[in-house]
Amino acid sequence: MSLLRPERSEAALNGAFDAVKSRSLTRLAFERFSRNKVAVVSTIILAVLVLLAIFAPVAEILTGYTMEFQDRNFYSAKPPNWEAKHFLGTDQNGRDIMVRVIFGMRISMLVALVAATVALVVGVLYGAISGLVGGWVDVLMMRFLDLLISYPLTLIAVIALAYFGRNIYIVFAIIGLVEWQIMARVVRGQVLSLRNSDFIEAARATGVPTTSIVLHHIIPNVIGIAVVYLTLTIPEVILVESFLGFLGLGVQEPNTSLGVLISEGATRVEHKPWLVFSPGVFLVLLLMSLNFIGDGLRDAFDPKDR
Amino acid sequence: MAYVFRRFGQMLILVVIALAAVFSTQRLAPGGPFDGEKPPPPEILANLRAYYDMDLGMPSQFMGYLFGMAARDVGQSGRPGRVHWLTIPDRAKVSITGSIYDELTDDDLLVRKWCPWDEWLSRWVSSKPDQRPLRKCGVLRGDFGLSMTKRNIYVNDYVRDGLPGTLKYAVPSLLFALFLGVPMGFLAAYFQNTRVDFAMVSAGMVGTIIPNLVMGPILIYLLAIQLDGFFHWLFVDYLDWVELSRRQRTLNLIPSGKSGGPIHYFLPTLVLGTALLGRIVRLSRAGALEALRSNYVRTARSKGLPNWLILFRHVLKPGILPVVTYLGPVSAVILTGSLVIEYTFSLPGLGSQFISAATDRDYTLLMGTTVILLVFVIVLNFIVDLLYTWLDPRIRTEGSPT
């Protein structure tokens, strides 16, 4: 049969391969992810929050209040007032809370993205070097990581922020340096299992140079899992940022973040609960959706881990 | 045992590295403890810097911090000033270890007659306690030095005042999370994939999803204000049982001041404990599931052992293994959480001292609090290792986990 019509069977074979390939990794993962209702709902919530953050100036236009405008009639934290378009109330200085929360969320997301990228770069580099070099370097690096994981790095971040100022770039870097260990460990595990896999063996046996193996076989296979853990790192980073902001060590005054807003309200919750509730709700929604999306992605890409 | 000691040694080395890192970064960072709104005149500044050994090189400063330093005479080095702290004048008040809250002038010199741990150490090393008056005894002999912003208070006093306030809430919340979370996880595993399982896991998730900086205000609002108001209405206005004025609280849940019954532990413990609960429920559920699926449990079941006996005898120990491994990182969670509750409930404690020391650049106070917090972490990790070797016999024979 195949001798008679080789081109057709080849085409069929190619088609079969195409079908298998197109259903292989990403598609299957996407299907698994979309069957996870919690994750899908979280994605929608996150999309709304991200849109709010991106189009934050629209809130200024709609309410007519800028972030720093101090409404003289609403000094010293007044409750929500719909006639005056203070939909979530005002703070001590008469500034509109809704606008501030949306802008604060914008800063929180920005910090989260950049700091998580820092964590990604550091973690991937550390894990990849540890896994690729192997030997005593690997042992040493992993032992160091073991020690670091049970270590209050957030306290070191507090010290560093107190000393090196509250410049937003410094906040990015320091928070990124707190949350990279899990990433490093995951990447190292992936690199190790790749190194022992058959196709790398085959590539090595056919004489592919090491740099080419790393570039074409190891990096593409590590990126997927790194991105999955990136979505799990982002909520951690947001949490650290809001913690530092809560203690008065986060971004500085013209800017604000969810943690800063919560800390402004936390001590006045007895008489003025709306000060803390609106940023609190937004923070919880953000963390919750990110956590569920991260869990969903991990389950989708790595179903054996469930 | 050897494994445990090795872990302990590693942690000690890491602490020294961390201390060196904190010590050097804080001294290399721009700014210092003495430049505030109104910096002191240059002569006094020079003397102050000399008193705290900040004019020395970094390594000798660190050595002095660790091992102590006798009085240095730098008064003659061409930097005259009003304060002569480094030479020991006759009229100087020589204070013994303990609190130095009495009024001191700039001329007074604080010299320890003996170091805080000397008696204790000399009993261990069986030597005579060192009677030389030391300006600094060093951390290893229990002296954290004088605070840099409040220059007549020893950091030891700060620690003595702050540490109970931190441990008071850290320990109960850890116990709360363990004694609630582990049974919840076991229940969830036992009734796997039923409503009970779902309820337990999602109840644990609540604390994980709501971070404690939001949880604190929310619980204050719900329990200490709304519930309190309801009870006030019920007991005082409606039933007329209790006589309270309008402004007094019925439950008195918000911790305030030093006078407080056990009810004041409720809210901080809840806030700190729920942050740990979700993770503990998940881990103990996973551990118990694995144990329940194992062959020895099947054997026990086929032997006809009752379920509760299987749970206690065969599932408990392997089931809590993952929880025990999590207890090491938990110490960091508790520390950051205690910073949050100290702020939310305005409690006195090491955390608030740590923050204020970091923002005021009080180098000695910051080092002191860091040492104490790290020791807390180390002790917890050490306990975890002990527990682990007891629970998992494989480590005892092989000498290493994994």
- The 10s digit of each residue's pLDDT in B333-364 is 888 888 898 888 888 888 888 888 888 888 88
Greater model confidence, A271 or A53:
A53
Q: Residue B122: is its pLDDT beyond 80?
A: no
- What pLDDT, on a 0 to 100 scale, did the predictor assign at position B106? 44
Q: How crowded is residue A124: how many other Cβ atoms within 10 Å of its Cβ?
A: 24
Which residue of chain A comes nearest to B286, CA vs CA?
Answer: A306
Q: How confident is the model at residue A195 (pLDDT cuts 50, 70, 90)?
A: confident
Q: Which residues pair with B136 in a beta bridge?
A: B69
Residue located via tokens 């107190």: A162
- Give the C-alpha separation, B354 to B331, whole Å: 16
Touching check for B326 and chain A: CB below 8 Å? no
Of the listed ranges B49-58, B164-173, B221-230, B298-307, the least confidently predicted one is B49-58
Write the DSSP symbol of residue A64. S
Using an 8 Å Cβ cutoff, are A290 and A234 in contact?
yes
- How far does the CA of residue A283 sit from the closest CA of chain B (Å)? 8
CB contact under 8 Å between A151 and B361, yes or no, is: no
Which residue of chain B comes nearest to A259, CA vs CA?
Answer: B213
Q: Residue B168: is its pLDDT beyond 60?
A: yes
The structure tokens listed for A232 are: 């799990």
Touching check for B271 and chain A: CB below 8 Å? no
Of the listed ranges A164-168, A193-197, A270-274, the least confidently predicted one is A164-168
- How far does the CA of residue A212 sit from the closest CA of chain B (Å)? 33
- What pLDDT, on a 0 to 100 scale, did the predictor assign at position A283? 93
Chain A residues whose CB is inside 8 A of the B224 CB are 270
Of the listed ranges A283-297, B81-95, B286-300, the least confidently predicted one is B81-95
The end-to-end CA distance of chain B, in Å, is 16
Of the listed ranges A44-48, A192-196, B114-118, the least confidently predicted one is B114-118
Touching check for B209 and chain A: CB below 8 Å? yes
Greater model confidence, A53 or B3:
A53
CB contact under 8 Å between B359 and A248, yes or no, is: yes
Touching check for A246 and chain B: CB below 8 Å? yes
Chain A residues whose CB is inside 8 A of the B14 CB are 147, 151
Per-residue pLDDT tens over the stretch B199-236: 988 888 888 889 889 999 999 899 888 888 888 888 88
Q: Residue A206: is its pLDDT beyond 60?
A: yes
- What pLDDT, on a 0 to 100 scale, did the predictor assign at position B89? 40
Using an 8 Å Cβ cutoff, are A67 and A95 in contact?
yes
Q: Could you tell me how many residues make up chain A? A: 306
Q: Residue B15: is its pLDDT beyond 70?
A: yes
The structure tokens listed for B155 are: 């950091």
Model pTM above 0.90: no
The radius of gyration computed from the CA coordinates of chain B, to the nearest angstrom, equals 27
Q: Hey, what's the torsion of the CAs at A96, A99, A105, A107, to 10 degrees?
A: -100
- How far does the CA of residue A143 sit from the closest CA of chain B (Å)? 9
- What pLDDT, on a 0 to 100 scale, did the predictor assign at position B105? 45
CA atoms in the 13 A half-sphere facing the CB of B347: 30
Q: Residue B64: is its pLDDT beyond 60?
A: yes
Which of B214, B247, B249, B379 should be substituted to probe chain A, the one whose Cβ sees the most A Cβ atoms within 10 Å?
Answer: B214
- What pLDDT, on a 0 to 100 scale, did the predictor assign at position A163? 81
Mean pLDDT over B141-170 rounds to 82
A30-59: b (≥16 Cβ within 10 Å) or e:
eebbeebeebeebbebbeebeebbeebeeb
Which of B336, B347, B371 should be substituted to probe chain A, the one whose Cβ sees the most A Cβ atoms within 10 Å?
Answer: B336
CB contact under 8 Å between B11 and A147, yes or no, is: yes
Per-residue pLDDT tens over the stretch A111-122: 888 989 899 989
CB contact under 8 Å between B354 and A284, yes or no, is: no
- Give the C-alpha separation, B100 to B118, whole Å: 19
Touching check for A164 and chain B: CB below 8 Å? yes
- How far does the CA of residue B328 sit from the closest CA of chain A (Å)? 5
Touching check for A284 and chain B: CB below 8 Å? yes
Q: Residue A180: is its pLDDT beyond 50?
A: yes
Touching check for A283 and chain B: CB below 8 Å? yes
Dihedral of CA B305/B308/B314/B319: which sign? positive
Which residue of chain A comes nearest to B373, CA vs CA?
Answer: A152
Q: Could you tell me how many residues make up chain B? A: 402
Which residue of chain A comes nearest to B330, CA vs CA?
Answer: A150
Greater model confidence, A242 or A20:
A242
CB contact under 8 Å between A284 and B211, yes or no, is: yes
Q: How confident is the model at residue B152 (pLDDT cuts 50, 70, 90)?
A: low
Which residue of chain A comes nearest to B346, CA vs CA?
Answer: A267
Of A152, A283, A287, the CB nearest to B373: A152
Touching check for B332 and chain A: CB below 8 Å? yes
- What pLDDT, on a 0 to 100 scale, did the predictor assign at position B173? 92
Q: Residue A306: is its pLDDT beyond 60?
A: no
- Give the C-alpha separation, B160 to B162, whole Å: 6
Task: Assess: ipTM above 0.85.
Answer: no
Of the listed ranges A263-267, B62-66, B88-92, B266-270, the least confidently predicted one is B88-92
CB contact under 8 Å between A246 and B26, yes or no, is: no
- What pLDDT, on a 0 to 100 scale, did the predictor assign at position B375? 83
Mean pLDDT over A66-70 rounds to 81
Q: Residue A281: is its pLDDT beyond 90?
A: yes
Closest alpha carbon to A45 in A262, A289, A298: A289
- What pLDDT, on a 0 to 100 scale, did the predictor assign at position B100? 38
Chain A residues whose CB is inside 8 A of the B31 CB are 163
Of B225, B358, B377, the CB nearest to A270: B225
Q: How confident is the model at residue A289 (pLDDT cuts 50, 70, 90)?
A: very high
Touching check for A259 and chain B: CB below 8 Å? yes
Q: Residue B240: is its pLDDT beyond 60?
A: yes
| Average pLDDT taken over every residue of chain B | 77
Q: How confident is the model at residue A40 (pLDDT cuts 50, 70, 90)?
A: very high
